Amino acid sequence: MSHSNELQHRLFQSVKRKIPPHLSLPEELAELLKISVDSAYRRIRGEKSISLTELKIICERYQLSADQLFHLENESVVFTAPGLHDQAPDFLIYMKGMLQQFDFFNSFQNQQILYLCKDVPFWYFFLFPEIAAFKIFFWSRTINNQSELSHKQFSFAEYPFTECYELGQLILQKHNKMHSVELWNLESIHSTINQISYYKDAGVFKTDEDFIKVCDSFVQLISHLQLQAERGKKHMPGMNGDVQGKIDFYVNELILGNNTILLQLNEQRITMITYNILNYLTCADERFADKAFGAYYNLLNRSALISVTGEKERSKFFNLLKAKVTALRNR
């Protein structure tokens, strides 16, 4: 095999790992490059060389690094940054995009999601409606600066965000199909506690009842996560018999970095790191994945597994979390 054919073969092997197994690589390539399926086959077999323009299109579409493909010895890594050129989208649009992501994740036969939880993972807020509504209101008003909410007070009756909540439930159901490995510590709920506290002090809650509902809903969320950790399986509230994906729940009392998601989709590894609060930088570079996955597992080796086993440590951890929220509620 010539050197150019070897590089082209490496390119298409990388693309093949990027697409769900049920999709046809030649058909995907033909549609992307606006060529016939036969022409796509000839490129895949190395009978026809791809152009630089085609290489650019393929790398952009499948988030591939030319440096990695050509084995260039440098420290450049390619990240994609959704939302980089746009204003903050309507929250409903943002959630529809997340739902599509989980559809993509679940299209792979083997999938695992590893989460370094500096904060409570986004989808868990949609376990219960009151805490979900509060978080959507907070994100929309304070993070996305939606002008129509700038002088409004939060009231669950006025802002239930029913459509977003229903979408969040769908995201949860798709997330629950995956095997999760989560690493938490006591600080993982602090940002949400601080948000609730700030809105309380600033008079953004319309009534004391709204404040209490949000706090109680947050405690319900924590209790549900405790139940999932106890069983080592994820499920929706009230559906204890309908358990789905496995969850490995770890606690590290000393070290926790930024919110980071690591995905294992068949042979493909993807790293996602938060930026601008709600958005993620995404990287599929294998060199970066080696570092990110290595660092994550290094932390796990220094952490306590409290799912299924470790009943004493599990009760202690979740009781401390609930005590923090209860102290906020009763202050």
- CATH code of 43's domain: 1.10.260.40
Other C-beta atoms within 10 Å of 103: how many? 13
Instruction: Give the residue-averaged pLDDT of 38-57.
Output: 87
Average pLDDT over residues 100-127: 93
Residue of higher predicted confidence among 145 and 7: 145
My answer on whether 99 and 14 are in the same domain is no
| Number of compact structural domains in the chain | 2
Judge whether residue 144 has pLDDT over 90: no
Instruction: Look at residues 69, 103, 123 and tell me which one is the last residue of a structural domain.
Output: 69
Confidence of residue 21 (pLDDT cuts 50, 70, 90): confident
Residues 53 and 167 in one domain: no
What are the structure tokens assigned to 315, written together?
């009760």
pTM: 0.81
Question: Residue 179 has which token pair?
Answer: 């095997």
Strand order in the sheet with 179-184: 279-283, 268-275, 260-265, 111-116, 179-184, 247-251, 304-305
Tokens of 56: 């650019």
- One domain, residues 124 and 184: yes
- The answer as to whether 81 is a domain residue is no
Query: Does the pLDDT value for residue 100 go beyond 50?
Result: yes
- Per DSSP (E only), the strands in 15-127 are 111-116
Residue 323 token pair = 């005590």
The parent domain of residue 65 ranges over 3-69
**Percent above pLDDT 90 for the chain:** 56
In a domain, residue 80? The reply is no
**Mean pLDDT along residues 223-228:** 96
- When computed from its CA atoms, the radius of gyration of the chain, rounded to whole angstroms, is 22
Predicted pLDDT of residue 306: 96
Both tokens of 316, joined, read 């202690």
- Residue 305 sits in the same domain as residue 172: yes
Give residue 59's pLDDT: 82
Q: Write down the pLDDT at residue 13.
A: 81
The token duo for 45 is 């077999």
pLDDT of residue 70: 62
* pLDDT above 50 (res 263): yes
pLDDT the model gives residue 73 = 58
Residue 185 belongs to a domain: yes
pLDDT > 60? residue 1: no
DSSP reduced 3-state for 304: strand
Q: How far apart are CA 149 and CA 151, in angstroms?
A: 6
Q: What is the mean predicted confidence (pLDDT) over 282-293?
A: 88
Backbone φ and ψ for 298, nearest 5 degrees, come out as -65, -40
Confidence category of residue 74, pLDDT binned at 50, 70, 90? low
Indicate whether 280 and 179 sit together in one domain: yes
Residue 79 within a domain:
no
φ and ψ at residue 25, rounded to 5 degrees: -60, -50
Taking all residues of the chain, what is their mean pLDDT, rounded to a whole number?
88
pLDDT band at 237 (very low <50, low <70, confident <90, very high): very high
Q: Does residue 47 form part of some domain?
A: yes
* pLDDT at residue 20 is higher than 80: no
Pairing assessment for the beta strands 268-275 and 260-265 based on DSSP bridges: antiparallel
**Cα–Cα distance, 251 to 258 (Å, whole number):** 15
Of 81-90, 108-117, 301-310, minimum mean pLDDT range = 81-90
Residue 183 shares a structural domain with residue 294:
yes
Q: 107 with 226, same domain? A: yes
Query: Residue 130 and residue 137: Cα distance in Å, rounded?
Result: 11
User: Which H or E element spans position 280?
Assistant: strand 279-283
- Domain membership flag for residue 9: yes
Together in a domain, 95 and 64:
no
Question: Which among 81, 18, 10 has a CA at the least distance from the CA of 46?
Answer: 10
pLDDT of residue 276: 76
Judge whether 239 lies within some domain: yes
**234 plus 313 within the same structural domain:** yes
* pLDDT at residue 241, rounded to an integer: 61
User: Does residue 270 have a pLDDT over 70?
Assistant: yes
For residue 279, what pLDDT is reported? 82
**What would the two tokens of residue 279 be?**
């958005």
The reply to whether 163 and 222 lie within a common domain is: yes
Distance CA 194, CA 330 (A): 15
Pair 145, 232 in one domain:
yes
Same domain, 158 and 284: yes
Q: Does residue 76 fall inside a structural domain? A: no
> Model confidence at 308, in pLDDT bands (50, 70, 90)?
very high
Q: What angle do CA 123, 213, 93 make, to 5 degrees?
A: 35
For the segment 153-181, the average pLDDT, to the nearest whole number, is 96
Residue 298 has pLDDT above 50, yes or no: yes
